[in-house]
């Protein structure tokens, strides 16, 4: 009996030691949980203007004919003949009215000379009383017609611009269908593009547009000048046109990106895109840092432009810190330590 009593005492002593040790471990775990610190990167809420952008891609082209004259032309002779003079080369700048081509005018020159002689003779006869005014008028009419035919043998530039193509040389026979040359006014260009029909609603003529070329420091400013009234059923897109400024540096045929500013929100509260997270209920949250504690704040997303997103929420203001890296699945009221890299202030 003494032996069993001794064993019972030993058993309860061991149980006591076990529970004492377990309690110490549990207390240590609770203390560690309370002192847990999560490393995050942070930025700031910033007030800035946010733009809603519709992006499209299009091709640069000369201004089409409409209320103003077209910005490009294909030159054709008004009469058939043989080219005797070419006064222009590709790449040459010309003014409106510059003589570019001349056709063989020997027959026309002779006709003009004869008509001039006839007119002078009729005038002299009329002066002497040997001719009538009717014959003088007829001679004048013949001269005018001969001068018109002579002028048709000269081809001049219909607009100022750059000669992009010269298709004939002296000695070539041409007719009314011959394309002698092409001229483009590079100061009057547009971009023709198409936008998905589900993105066309916020667009309207007069809105600003930007063309950002990869090798340019600044975007080229343009204006939305035309929106088609119908949808192309084969592509589900709507045709638009962007007017470009003079000296844009672009060339017809270039394929360029277009960013149309459809809306602007002034002085919006914004955060870096990486600050925005979703919880299991699909709520949009940001983690605001105050006194080293990150608390989850529900927000409504607005315009997203570049690296920043507009946020709409109460009790938020500029310069408040937010978690930019490490916010996903971060528990509410978590103690955090900021380990920002230089320049990561949003």
- What's residue 26's pLDDT? 47
- What value, to the nearest 5°, has the Cα angle with vertex 191 and ends 188 and 192? 125
Task: Please state, in angstroms and rounded to a whole number, the distance separating the CA atoms of residues 259 and 208.
Answer: 9
pLDDT for the residue numbered 330: 86
Instruction: Specify the DSSP class assigned to residue 54.
Output: E
- In eight-state DSSP terms, residue 309 is E
Cα atoms in the Cβ-side hemisphere of radius 13 Å centred on 315: 7
Residue 148 is predicted with a pLDDT of: 94
Cα 205 → chain centroid? 14
pLDDT score of 35: 60
Residue that has been written with the tokens 């082209």 in this structure: 61
- Distance from CA of residue 57 to its chain's centroid? 7
- Whether this prediction's pTM lies above 0.75 is answered by no
Cα separations (Å) of 168 from 200, 281, 291? 45, 72, 80
* Alpha helices by DSSP H, 78-232: 106-128, 133-151
Give the pLDDT confidence score for residue 104 in this predicted structure: 96
Predicted local confidence at residue 16, as pLDDT:
46
- CA end-to-end distance (rounded Å), the chain: 79
Q: Would you give per-residue pLDDT tens digits along the chain (346 residues)?
A: 444 554 554 554 444 444 444 444 444 444 443 468 888 999 999 999 999 999 999 999 999 987 678 899 999 999 999 999 999 999 999 999 999 999 999 999 999 999 999 999 988 888 878 778 888 889 899 999 999 999 999 999 999 999 999 999 999 999 999 999 999 999 999 999 999 999 999 999 999 999 988 887 889 999 999 999 999 999 999 999 999 999 899 999 999 999 999 999 999 999 999 999 998 889 999 999 999 999 999 999 999 998 999 999 988 999 999 999 988 888 889 999 998 765 445 5
Instruction: Give the single-character DSSP code of 331.
Output: P
Could you report the per-residue pLDDT of 270-328, keeping only the tens digit for each? 999 999 999 888 999 999 999 999 999 999 999 999 899 999 998 899 999 999 998 88
């Amino acid at each position: 009996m003494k032996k069993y009593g001794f064993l019972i005492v030993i058993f309860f002593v061991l149980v006591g030691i076990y529970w004492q040790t377990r309690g110490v471990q549990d207390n240590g775990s609770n203390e560690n949980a309370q002192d847990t610190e999560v490393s995050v990167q942070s930025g700031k809420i910033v007030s800035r203007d946010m733009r809603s952008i519709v992006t499209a891609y299009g091709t640069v082209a000369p201004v089409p004919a409409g209320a103003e004259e077209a910005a490009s032309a294909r030159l054709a002779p008004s009469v058939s003949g043989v080219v005797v003079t070419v006064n222009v080369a590709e790449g040459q700048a010309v003014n409106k009215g510059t003589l570019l081509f001349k056709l063989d005018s020997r027959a026309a020159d002779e006709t003009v000379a004869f008509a001039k002689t006839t007119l002078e003779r009729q005038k002299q006869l009329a002066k002497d009383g040997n001719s009538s005014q009717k014959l003088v008028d007829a001679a004048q009419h013949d001269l005018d017609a001969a001068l018109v035919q002579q002028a048709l043998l000269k081809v001049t530039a219909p607009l100022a611009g750059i000669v992009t193509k010269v298709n004939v040389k002296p000695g070539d026979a041409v007719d009314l269908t011959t394309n002698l040359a092409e001229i483009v006014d590079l100061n009057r260009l547009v971009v023709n593009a198409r936008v998905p029909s589900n993105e066309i609603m916020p667009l309207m003529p007069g809105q600003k547009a930007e063309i950002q070329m990869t090798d340019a420091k600044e975007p080229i400013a343009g204006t939305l000048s035309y929106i088609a009234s119908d949808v192309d059923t084969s592509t589900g897109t709507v045709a638009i046109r962007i007017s470009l400024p003079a000296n844009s540096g672009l060339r017809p045929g270039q394929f360029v990106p277009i960013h149309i500013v459809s809306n602007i929100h002034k002085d919006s509260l914004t955060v870096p895109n990486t600050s925005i997270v979703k919880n299991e209920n699909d709520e949009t949250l940001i983690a605001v840092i105050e006194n080293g504690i990150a608390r989850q704040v529900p927000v409504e997303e607005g315009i997203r432009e570049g690296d920043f997103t507009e946020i709409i929420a109460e009790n938020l203001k500029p310069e408040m810190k937010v978690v930019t890296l490490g916010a996903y699945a971060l528990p509410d009221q978590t103690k955090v330590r900021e380990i920002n890299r230089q320049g990561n202030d949003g």
